[in-house]
């Protein structure tokens, strides 16, 4: 179970890196960032496919997308200086709360 979560963490990090390089690719007009998008997304989806052998797909996808959204929003805010307003921060807080609720209380996670 622990190794599945480590693979899921890798999938999240790879997805966030892929999305970060998506911005840097400028619409796939720059070769290196575009290649990195493909590499990181491929790695992320491969890792995600491995995790679904062990954990429930709905839970895996909720965690992967939720944590990815939060990290990507923070990178946009801090690295790319993209504005987030109060409702955006509240929504991000709800996403974080949702991921914690799933992991702490859901019986489908497989604790």
Query: For 8-36, what is each residue's pLDDT tens digit?
Result: 999 999 999 999 999 999 999 999 999 99
Q: Is the separation of the CB atoms in 97 and 67 below 8 Å?
A: no
Mean pLDDT of the chain: 93
Query: For 63-109, what is each residue's pLDDT tens digit?
Result: 999 999 999 999 999 999 999 999 999 999 999 999 889 888 888 76
Average pLDDT rounded to a whole number, residues 56-60: 89
Segments making up each domain of the chain, as ranges = 2-105
- The pTM of the full predicted model, rounded to 2 decimals, is 0.88
Reduced DSSP (H G I as helix, E B as strand, rest coil) percent helix, strand, coil of the chain, to 5: 75, 0, 25
């Amino acid at each position: 179970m622990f190794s599945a979560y480590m693979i899921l963490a890798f999938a999240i990090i790879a997805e966030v890196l892929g999305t970060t390089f998506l911005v840097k690719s400028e619409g796939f007009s720059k070769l290196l960032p575009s290649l990195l998008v493909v590499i990181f997304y491929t790695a992320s989806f491969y890792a995600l496919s491995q995790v679904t052998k062990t954990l429930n797909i709905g839970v895996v996808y909720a965690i992967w997308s939720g944590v990815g959204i939060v990290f990507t929003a923070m990178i946009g805010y801090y690295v790319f200086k993209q504005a987030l307003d109060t409702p955006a921060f509240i929504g991000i807080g709800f996403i974080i709360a949702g991921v914690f609720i799933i992991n702490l209380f859901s019986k489908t996670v497989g604790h």
